Structure 1
Amino acid sequence: MTSVANRERLNFQPGSSSRTAEVDDTEYYTISGTRPYFDVILSRTHVTPPYRLNLPTRMVSELPSKLVPMVLTSCGKTWETFYHGRGRGSTKRFGWKRFVIDNDLRMGDCCFFELMECSTTKIVFKVIILRGTLPLGEGAGDGDTPETAIFIE
């Protein structure tokens, strides 16, 4: 994994492009900034049975209120699933077990979901994965306590 300092080498500007850039043989993807998106830090229920991910209310308003085929894309690969846009209350979810397993997602990882396409017949999300083990500090335990907090300016 490449350090945060490499952002300068990329002229990194969040939301500036949906293209990929390559540094030290690692691809980086960005959110376009013009489409709806949400992020989630993964917990146990996201990455173990029942592999459940509920959508935030602000995203639900962008999606159809019915069962719709959905595609998750990440790093040039795709996973087909379904969005369950009907149900009790505002809880809307989609199946993503295969995506979790294939990408070895773990508690503490963060996923950004950008809505690329949305209709009553198909939904497509681009997913950017940030590993919870991203090496931001200089040593073991950095960021674990207020005394070892990591400040990003």
Structure 2
Amino acid sequence: MEFKEMVKEAFVVVGYSAPGSWGGDFAYPIPGLWEKAKEFITTDQVDQIVGVCLPPRSDDYYYTCGVEMDSVAFRRMRKDVTVHLFKKQKYVVFKHTGPSQNISATYHKLWKVFDEEGYLIEKGMPEIEVVNAHLFGKEDSGEYEMDIWIPVGEHPHA
């Protein structure tokens, strides 16, 4: 599985948030948050929807789905959204291609590559999922794509 290393400048995510769990008390809010965040495409004319997950690779997490902004116009914000600020960070970026129901298989492959390459997750930073607006409504097709950004600390082999 191919990937690339990238540095992402500090950014703000404004969106809808909920806790989730893969454990025994299964709560999976992510599809509903993506569905709700679609409104940003038409209301705010955005090109991408962004999901952030804290902490990465965890059974219990906090997920936000919304839009990335350079700054926040707080007076224009809706009452039911959350705001998160993240510092500049190095990431390894993978690409999922194909129907959205296959995303878990992509994650299985990327975590294997991540571990084989000796990367370590940077604590306190989000895992990021990015989907271009023109792909909404095509989640079941082979052309659907999602970029998956995993935050990394210093590479132990460097």
Report TM bin, short chain: 0.3 to 0.5
Q: Which has the larger radius of gyration?
A: 1
Larger relative contact order (Cα-Cα within 8 Å, sequence gap ≥ 6): 2
TM-score, normalised to structure 1, is: 0.34
TM-score, normalised to structure 2, is: 0.33
